[in-house]
């Protein structure tokens, strides 16, 4: 049973309902319930939830592909995606037939540790405007230690928009305005 976090759930649901793509950066201390909150907010939506692990970049990509196939079905193409950039672009295309598809990259710092290019890959993907096609929702989540990296991703991907991160260890969810 999921208890509390009504405000945070409402914030996420409002963002998911928006008629546009969304890049959501979520960070906080470890073990405050960020992952559970994301899973609760997306449990009724078409979504891909992926929790990265420490390890090889190729292993994480393979595990992500498996999560994608489990969530959106095997289109015969996902398994052949050679890298994160083409994978994200393919999911943007998938979102055209599944508008509002939510993709969560949890433990994003582990992806960055395995492949230092991940922030720039996300930037390049977001800058390509591909997420607009199906109003893709991308959540990048990690611990508070990753907050600076997450803010850097947001700044790279959305340089035209001011950002204000509000964080409370009691609430555990930042607000981007």
* CATH of residue 171: 3.40.50.300
Q: How confident is the model at residue 14 (pLDDT cuts 50, 70, 90)?
A: very high
For the stretch 147-165, pLDDT in tens is 545 556 666 666 666 544 4
Going by pLDDT thresholds of 50, 70 and 90, the confidence category of residue 5 is confident
Q: What pLDDT, on the 0 to 100 scale, is given for residue 6?
A: 87
Q: Is 11 helix (H, G, I), strand (E, B) or coil?
A: helix
Tokens of 149: 């990296």
Residue 10 lies in a domain: no
pLDDT more than 70, % of the chain: 79
Q: Whole domain around residue 84: which residue ranges?
A: 20-176
- Residue 99 counted as domain residue: yes
Q: How many CA atoms does the CB half-sphere of 134 hold within 13 Å? A: 21
Residues 6-21 have a mean pLDDT of 92
Q: Identify the pLDDT of residue 150.
A: 57
Q: Is residue 106 part of a domain?
A: yes
Residue 177 has pLDDT above 50, yes or no: no
Structure token pair of residue 137: 């929702």
Residue 79, in any domain of the structure: yes
Look at residue 33 in the predicted model and tell me its pLDDT: 81
pLDDT at 155: 65
Q: How many domains does the chain have?
A: 1
pLDDT at site 152:
61
pTM given for the model: 0.82
Q: Does some domain include residue 13?
A: no
What residues have CB less than 8 Å from 57, skipping those under 6 apart? 111, 114, 115
**pLDDT score of 16:** 94
Tell whether 6 is covered by a domain: no
Measured at the CA of 125, the angle between CA 119 and CA 130, to 5 degrees, comes to: 155
173 has a pLDDT exceeding 60? no
């Amino acid at each position: 049973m999921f208890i509390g976090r009504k405000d945070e759930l409402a914030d996420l649901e409002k963002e998911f309902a928006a008629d546009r793509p969304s890049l959501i950066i979520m960070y906080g201390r470890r073990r405050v319930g960020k992952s559970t909150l994301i899973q609760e907010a997306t449990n009724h939506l078409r979504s891909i939830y992926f929790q990265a692990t420490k390890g090889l970049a190729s292993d994480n990509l393979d595990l992500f592909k498996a999560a994608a196939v489990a969530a959106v079905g095997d289109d015969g193409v996902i398994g052949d995606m050679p890298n994160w950039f083409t994978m994200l672009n393919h999911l943007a295309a998938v979102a055209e037939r599944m508008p509002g598809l939510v993709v969560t990259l949890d433990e994003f710092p582990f992806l960055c540790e395995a492949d230092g290019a991940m922030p720039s890959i996300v930037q390049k993907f977001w800058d390509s405007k591909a997420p607009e096609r199906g109003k893709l929702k991308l959540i990048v989540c990690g611990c508070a230690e990753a907050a600076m990296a997450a803010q850097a991703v947001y700044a790279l991907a959305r340089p035209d928009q001011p950002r204000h991160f509000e964080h409370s260890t009691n609430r555990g969810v930042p607000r981007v305005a």
